[in-house]
Every structure is written in structure tokens, then in C-alpha cells.
Amino acid sequence: MQAATTFGPIEIWLSMGAVGHLVLVFLFLMSVYAAGVVIDRWLLFRRAHRESVDFARAARRPLTEGKIDEVVSLADRHPRSHLARVYAATLRDAAPWIEAPGTAEGFEDAIRHAAEREGARVTQDFKRGLTALASIGATAPFVGLFGTVVGIMNSFFGMAAAGAGGIGAVSGGIAEALVNTAAGILVALPAVWAFNHFLGRLERVQSEMGNAGSELVDYFARRSWSDSWRLEATAVRAVRS
């Protein structure tokens, strides 16, 4: 009775050719890079959410009281918060209108553009690495398939050289070659899942930044026409003069 052939990880690695080894090593490097991107982006989104919640709670009172400098100072203490970055950039651009007695022409557009510019910069920071993650998810199965095709070709070449036929002559080589395809799929699936997850979170971040910009425009529009704003602007001009 013929002894059963074992195909463990070590046996498969030892029986594979140079191309199969290179494919598996390349897939391993892709998986390591994808894991690094996932961990880095997860920490970034987590910290951004926490700091944004803390900033929103701390800035509510000074913003209601019109203490713009205090809000900007709070924003500077939360550098990882996307909301804090939008608020800080927008409030700094709004400084020329803080002393104005009324809404100047082009005020709303200037404030909105400031929020959009900072929102675009924040989006680019949050998207860093996601393109590579999507590329790994899309190409890893093809990298594995390449190793499989080469492995199957080598099996048939070996069968032709030995002059032996039958499925038994190539089954071991085909099984070893298919390991590359399995490894490619194993690398691609987590990368695709992570990319879609972070893309959804990025869309929520963009929505929050857009809402923050609109709220600031409305806030300054209301404040600019109030009597308290006019009195405050007059007092500021008197102190600085």
C-alpha cells in the first residue's frame, strides 16, 4: 500500500520553484504593507473622532460667547481633529470681518472657501495610503494567479520530460501552484474590506467638515447683524487704536 503524501506548509515551500517562492514573498510584503496602512489609518480615524468630540464640547461655550481667539486656541490643541482644523482655518480667515460692523461683500464666499480649502487638505491627509490599499486588494489575486500559472506550466513540462502521464503525475504540482492563488486571495480580501471601511469613514468625515463650514458661515452671518456684535467690534477697534 502506497504511503499517503503529506503537503504541509514546509513541504509545499520546499517543493515550489523559484517563481513560486518569489510570488509568495511578494505577497507577504504586500500583506505587511497593507497591515501597516490599516493600523495607521485606524489610529488616525480613532484619534480624529476622539479629539473632534472633545473639541466640539470645549468650543461650544466660547463660540456662543463670541470668544473667537479662545476657539482658535482650543483648535490648535487638537491637531488631529478634522473639525478643529476646519474651525481654526475658517476663523483665521474670518478675522478681518470680526471687527466689521456688518457683513462685507463676499464674506460668505470667503468663509466657505476657507472651510473647503482646509477640508480638501484634511481629506488628502486622511486618504494617504488608501490608494495603495485599494491597489493591493485589486492586484494581489492576479499576482497569485501568475504564480499558479507558472507552477502549472512547470508541472506539465516536467510530465512531458519524464514521459509519464495521468493526473497523478501533475496533481502534486498543481496543488502546490494553487497555493499562490489562495495566498493572493487571502491578501486581497482584508485589503478590500479595510479600504471600503475607511472610505465610508472618510465620507462621514467629509460630511462633518462640510456641515462645520456651513455652520460657521451661518454663525458669522447672524453675529454680524446683531447689536452685541457691533458693540464688540467697536470696543475691539477702540482698544487697538
Q: What is the pTM of this model?
A: 0.77
In a domain, 35, yes or no: yes
In a domain, 3, yes or no: no
In a domain, 26, yes or no: yes
In a domain, 4, yes or no: no
The per-residue pLDDT for 123 is: 93
In a domain, 137, yes or no: yes
The per-residue pLDDT for 108 is: 72
pLDDT by residue for the chain (241 residues), tens only, comes to 344 455 566 666 666 677 778 888 999 999 999 999 999 999 999 999 999 999 989 988 888 777 888 888 899 899 899 999 999 888 887 766 665 545 555 677 778 888 889 999 999 999 999 999 999 999 999 998 888 888 777 777 666 666 655 555 556 567 677 888 899 999 999 999 999 999 999 999 999 998 888 888 777 767 655 444 445 545 544 544 5
The per-residue pLDDT for 68 is: 81
The per-residue pLDDT for 97 is: 63
The per-residue pLDDT for 69 is: 84
In a domain, 168, yes or no: yes
* Angle CA 76–77–78, to nearest 5: 90
In a domain, 112, yes or no: yes
Question: Residue 27 belongs to what domain range?
Answer: 9-236
For the chain, how many structural domains are there in total? Answer: 1
The per-residue pLDDT for 110 is: 77
In a domain, 2, yes or no: no
